[in-house]
Amino acid sequence: MINYRQTAGPAASSIDSEACAAMIDTHQYSDGEIPWCKGAKTDPWDHVEAAMGLAISGRLDQARKAFEWLQQNQLPDGSWYAAYQKGVPIDKTREANMTAYIAVGVFHFYLITQDIHFLHTTWPTLVKAIDFALSLQAPGGEIHWAVSPEGKTDPMALLTGSSSIYMSLKCALAISRILDYHKPRWEKARKRLGNAIKHKPQAFNISKARYSMDWFYPILCGAVQGNAAQRRLKRYWKKFIIEGQGVRCVSDRPWVTIAETCEFTLALKAMGEDELAHIIFGWISDKNDADGQYWCGFTYPDMTIWPEEKLTWTNAVVLMAADALFDITPASRLFHHHHWDGGCWVPKEKEI
């Protein structure tokens, strides 16, 4: 176990899960689209994250509607545009990690509902999305991050984005096993990507080392585990952690973000650091308004809330962290390393 100075109060604090879920529900449009907040953009990755929050809260019809929106708006090549506003594309970049993340959301929904029909109906959409992302895989295993609006592949790779795709591939492969589809190309791509994340830092040629997600996403996705995860955790702890407050979004700014802190909680829980995960989550569990909805972030030590808008996906990841810590739903173990076998975790009744 890791011995870090723990300056927080109680390790586990209650949250108003209904308030978090209602915030997402209220902002969802009738066609299923979930923007960041009122009048703001929608991006495919955060749309899926918000749908996961809805599913955790038991709002299954609303979560299904969110996936239907993705099905209806998928482009012929399997991707989605990077940003929409009420269904109208406002950024026609097509990003690999945004596209692949539907697999995580679909598997998460299945774990909660055991709805095999849902898997069958979303499978064609998922296949096209994963195949688009893998069409951008470089020979070294990393994933080029995007195709420009002009149709040109940007030969840059992001560690956080590739780590997200690694998790998406794990979930897509789990779904393929449940549905009895054989996807050896996906499995080979997953292994090559995992190898790049673990052993080829030079392959990720857009430097995001200032960002905390580059620190913990390789752990969160399960590409880095065990002793390697412990070493990574210790190496950058002081760079990104403000003791008693949370996780900085970027290392050189005094800005703690609720989403990064909750995702870091998920990473700690994934690697088996349960006590520390509870403590970190306790640091931000009261960073909400009287309505129970969570801020995006705050500066420290002046404790200025910034930005003032409360975001759907921030409230969704609060629900995801709470689920992981308190086993609210059958999807609570989604990121746990020991529940994945060779990159393909499936429910017990499907184990072979």
| pLDDT tens sequence across 194-240 | 999 999 999 998 778 899 999 999 999 999 999 999 999 999 999 99
Tokens of 207: 């430097």
User: Which whole-number Å values give the CA distances from 72 to 47, 79, 122, 179, 197, in the listed order?
Assistant: 14, 12, 11, 22, 33
pLDDT tens for each residue of 139-186 = 999 999 999 999 999 999 999 999 999 999 999 999 999 999 999 999
Q: What is the DSSP string of 140-198?
A: TS-BEEEE-TTS-EEEEE-HHHHHHHHHHHHHHHHHHHHTT---HHHHHHHHHHHHHHH
- Number of Cβ within 10 Å of residue 191's Cβ equals 15
CATH 1.10.1740.10 fits 17-336, yes or no: no
- In three-state secondary structure terms, 250 is strand
Q: What is the mean pLDDT of residues 279-292?
A: 95
User: Sign of the CA dihedral 316, 318, 319, 324?
Assistant: positive
User: pTM here?
Assistant: 0.94
Question: What's residue 208's pLDDT?
Answer: 83
Which phi and psi angles does 89 have, rounded to 5°?
A: -60, 130
Residue, of 345 and 42, whose pLDDT is higher: 42
Reported confidence tier of residue 350, pLDDT bands at 50, 70, 90: very low
Please report, in angstroms and rounded to a whole number, the separation of the first and last CA atoms in the chain: 32
Which pLDDT does position 345 carry in this prediction? 54
**Domain assignments of the chain as residue spans, ordered by start:** 17-336
Q: Model confidence over 288-317: pLDDT tens digits?
A: 999 999 999 999 999 999 999 999 999 999
* Separation of alpha carbons 27 and 35, rounded Å: 7
Closest CA to 21 of 317, 351, 251: 317
| 2, amino acid identity | I
* C-alpha–C-alpha distance, residues 223 and 221, integer Å: 6
Please report which confidence band the pLDDT of residue 71 belongs to, taking 50, 70 and 90 as the band edges. very high
Confidence (pLDDT) at 206: 78
According to the model, what pLDDT value does residue 3 have?
Answer: 41
**Contact present, 87 and 33 (Cβ < 8 Å):** yes
Report DSSP letters for 83-143, one per residue: EEETTEEEE--EEHHHHHTHHHHHHHHHHHH--HHHHHHHHHHHHHHHHHHHTTB-TTS-B
One-letter amino acid at 195 equals N
